[in-house]
Structure 1
Amino acid sequence: MGVVGRNDTHSTNSPEDTVISSLSPRARKASAVAAALAVTAVLGATAVAATDDHGKGGKQEVAAVRGSAEFMLPYYPDDDVRSFTFDAEAAPYSNPQPGIPTGLPTDAKGTVKISHYSAERKVTYTSEARVDCLVTGPHTATLTAVVTKVGPGGPPNVGKRLGFSVHDGGKDGGPGRSHDRVGFSWNGVNLDPKGKGQPEELPVGTCMAPAPYAPVTKGGYTVHHAELPQMPGQGKR
């Protein structure tokens, strides 16, 4: 004869459940609170580890150059007004190429706008270019961009790559006291001397530009430096 009220099926309770069920209501409540605190601590440690691995909020720092400024040519003073406007940002490994399926750590995106007012002709020449490469160091950067648009009267150089360099001199000291500088890959640089023949201008490779030799006279630039990231799939060293 069986015992009245006995459940003959196998219990699915774990040993932990059995122990907790044998505790008083107050003890069971204390045990539940302790378990919740333990879970919170584990989740917090996981979040901290994720932040340490990936930087602020899991986002990696991105190099960039932004700003607009006028500058002078120290070797050729005149009344012309020249300016560059940069809106360039790194986009590592975003441009696959033949033999380089991953792209390069220096891949970049953005635009460069060029303006040159000729005081002699009283005409402003403009052009725009698409950024394809950017590399930075503290307070300095080089970038290249391919011309996509030329305004009326400008040179027919759509498709030509131009090189630029930027020195971010920090906070300016007042009107006319900017410490920023720029450089660019034409007007006397990047030439190939040929003995008695006239030197020819050479093609510009990605991220190639001279040192920033031209002082900024109005406006300014901001360089945000970030290290070049490792190739995708490579672990930390």
Structure 2
Amino acid sequence: MRKSVRGIAAAATAITLATWAIPASAHDRVARVGGSAEFTLPFSPDNDVRRFSFDVRAAPFTRPLPGRPQGLPMDATGTVKVSHYVAATGATVTLEAAVDCLITSPGYAAMTGIVTRADSDVRDWIGTRVGFSVRDGGRDGHGDRAGYTWNMSGDQDENGTWGPAKVGTCLAPAPFGPVTRGDFTVHHVDLPLDRPAAG
């Protein structure tokens, strides 16, 4: 009987240790942003329909740069799709950006990407870096918000002349546009420890 009890206890311990040893899903260890939603501009109401669709995930240390051959903790991959129905013309303009940088905090995300495809009206955007921000307010999109960089900021050159602001990696304004339909999701994971360069 004692052997049986000891055997059961040992088996239970082994199962417990095995359970502890199972690593968390790789999916859960990676920050990501998903979902699709429409939003409004509270400071400039109109009848336009603006929609962002996100399929973005962190990919730390995957984008070598000059002086940073190991890449950066905020490296990311994925796609953002933008659709803007312009009520005044009845036309819908779309573009897509390939994401290269993502930083999250609980319920929030900021990311940037390079425009890789754009309709003819915004064809000159191809190759331009743009920024996006998201607030995940909870279930079913309630409290969600979106933000973006274009026509939201400017910059001055050495002569003091104003023009479009240059967008750096992972730079985006606070998410200012309340979601009216759809849902954004932000899965937060802290940035990993910086990886020293080999050599």
Same fold (TM over 0.5): yes
SS at structure 2 position matched to 1:124? strand
Rg (Cα) greater in structure: 1
Where do residues 25-104 of structure 1 align in structure 2 (5 Å cutoff)? Answer: 47=18, 50-51=21-22, 55-56=23-24, 61-104=29-72
1:108 counterpart residue number: 76
SS at structure 2 position matched to 1:153? helix
Give the Cα separation in 1 of the matches to 2:27 and 2:179.
33
**Residue range with higher mean Cα deviation, 138-147 or 195-204:** 195-204
1:202 lines up with 2:165 in the alignment: yes
How many corresponding residue pairs?
195
Change over 3 Å in CA distance of 1:38–1:71 after alignment to 2: closer
Give the Cα separation in 2 of the matches to 1:58 and 1:86.
20
2:122 counterpart residue number: 154
Any idea what the Cα deviations from partners look like across 1:106-159, whole Å, max 9, x if unmatched? 111110001111111111111011010111100000011110001132241111
SS at structure 1 position matched to 2:33? strand
SS at structure 1 position matched to 2:167? coil
Q: Is the 8 A contact 1:50 1:58 kept in 2?
A: no
2:148 counterpart residue number: 184
Give the Cα separation in 1 of the matches to 2:8 and 2:169.
54
Q: Which of 120, 136, 160 does residue 104 from structure 2 map onto?
A: 136
Change over 3 Å in CA distance of 1:119–1:61 after alignment to 2: same
Structure 2, unaligned runs of 5 or more: none
Q: TM-score, normalised by structure 1?
A: 0.72
Give the Cα separation in 2 of the matches to 1:64 and 1:141.
9
1:188 deviation in Å? 2.7
Structure 1, unaligned runs of 5 or more: 1-30
Q: Is the 8 A contact 1:70 1:81 kept in 2?
A: yes
Give the Cα separation in 1 of the matches to 2:189 and 2:115.
26
**Residue range with higher mean Cα deviation, 93-102 or 61-70:** 93-102
Q: Is the 8 A contact 2:131 2:170 kept in 1?
A: yes
Q: TM-score, normalised by structure 2?
A: 0.84
2:138 counterpart residue number: 170
Change over 3 Å in CA distance of 1:154–1:115 after alignment to 2: same
More strand by share: 2
Give the Cα separation in 1 of the matches to 2:36 and 2:139.
15
**Superposition CA RMSD, Å:** 2.8
1:214 lines up with 2:182 in the alignment: no
Letter in 2 for 1:215: P
Q: Is the 8 A contact 1:168 1:180 kept in 2?
A: yes
Give the Cα separation in 1 of the matches to 2:187 and 2:39.
21
More contact order relative to length (CA 8 Å, sep ≥ 6): 2
Letter in 1 for 2:66: P
1:121 lines up with 2:89 in the alignment: yes
1:37 deviation in Å? 8.4
